[in-house]
Amino acid sequence: MEETFSVVKPLLCRFPRLTRTLALVSLAAAATLQAQQASGPQPPRRVDPKAQQLLNRAIQVLGGQVFLTVKTLTTKGRVYVIRDESTAGLAPYQSYVQYPDKRRFSYGKTPPVILINDGDKGWELDRYGLINQPKEQLQRWIASNRYSLENLLRERINEPGVLVQTGGVDFVDNAPTQGIEITEAGGSNVRLDVNRQTFLPTRITYQVRNPKTGDWDEYADAYADYKPVDGIQTPMHITRYANGDRISETFRNSAHYNENYPANYFTPE
């Protein structure tokens, strides 16, 4: 989910202890992605038939082939940073995403801060000029983008070596859900919860081993307030959690798919 982690650090500049905590958690998580996705001979993709049926239903409800082939997503709205269950900061934002791994994200008032990402490269542009994104900021983007709703259902579940199984039932925002457990070839575990009545995705949870402590850090994005946009059911409210703590909420005021962007939109030019 492209909006959530992008403005945490700037908006929490008055809360240095929380900023350091979030930075360490996200950096440790993203830094281990490469190790968990090591290249080499991979076993074939293995999917339980019941899990495949659930995935097919979820993809169909989201928009089917339209969802699977969409190229860009443009959203505008506000992002709120949460500290101890209270709002610690907020900012208006505009987000331009070209799947699977390009984005241009601006936040704040005039002049805004602009974050540009292209795969494993990232830059930050503000009134003082252009710089490379700090390592921890760049790794946050890589980690959260890998398990976004779109990339999970269009990329991750189809990769060689992935194991997809039916999981247990749960509740997300007081609604009953059915879980789908996804194990990547490198060992990362991901859970997708879909609403048992509508089959819309309601939460994506994934764990990455922290290389410093050896423990697993858990992240979750909860999706709600779906609206039909250009033939695709689109979540307009997204809540992000880190190790069980709510750290941000994104409210999309508008969303559009397949808009054309300038050729240099995802470069530091």
Q: Are 78 and 90 in contact (CB under 8 A)?
A: yes
* Contacts by residues 228-236 (CB-CB < 8 Å, ≥ 24 positions apart): 229/255, 229/256, 229/257, 230/66, 230/256, 230/257, 230/258, 231/63, 231/66, 232/62, 232/63, 232/66, 232/67, 232/70, 232/257, 233/61, 233/62, 233/63, 233/67, 233/200, 235/149, 235/201, 236/77
Q: Are 179 and 168 in contact (CB under 8 A)?
A: yes
Going by DSSP bridges, is the β-strand pair 163-172/46-47 parallel, antiparallel, or unpaired?
parallel
What Å distances lie between residue 257 and 171, 228, 230, CA to CA?
A: 30, 11, 7
| HEC sequence for 122-188 | EEEEECCEEEECCHHHHHHHHHHHHCCHHHHHHCHHHCCCCEEEEEEEEEECCEEEEEEEEECCCCC
What does pTM read for this prediction?
0.84
Per-residue pLDDT of the chain (269 residues; tens, 9 = 90+): 555 555 555 555 434 444 444 444 444 444 445 544 545 667 889 999 999 999 999 999 999 999 999 999 999 999 998 888 777 688 999 999 999 999 999 999 888 999 999 999 999 999 899 999 998 788 878 888 999 999 999 999 999 999 999 999 999 999 999 999 999 998 889 999 999 999 999 999 988 666 678 788 898 999 999 999 999 999 999 999 989 999 999 999 999 999 999 999 999 87
Res 85: pLDDT: 77
41: exposed, middle or buried (Cβ count in 10 Å: 0-12, 13-18, 19+): exposed
Measured at the alpha carbon of residue 208, what is the angle toward residues 206 and 214, in degrees to the nearest 5?
140
Domain parsing of the chain, residue ranges: 5-257
Res 15: pLDDT: 41
CATH architecture of 5-257: Clam (2.50)
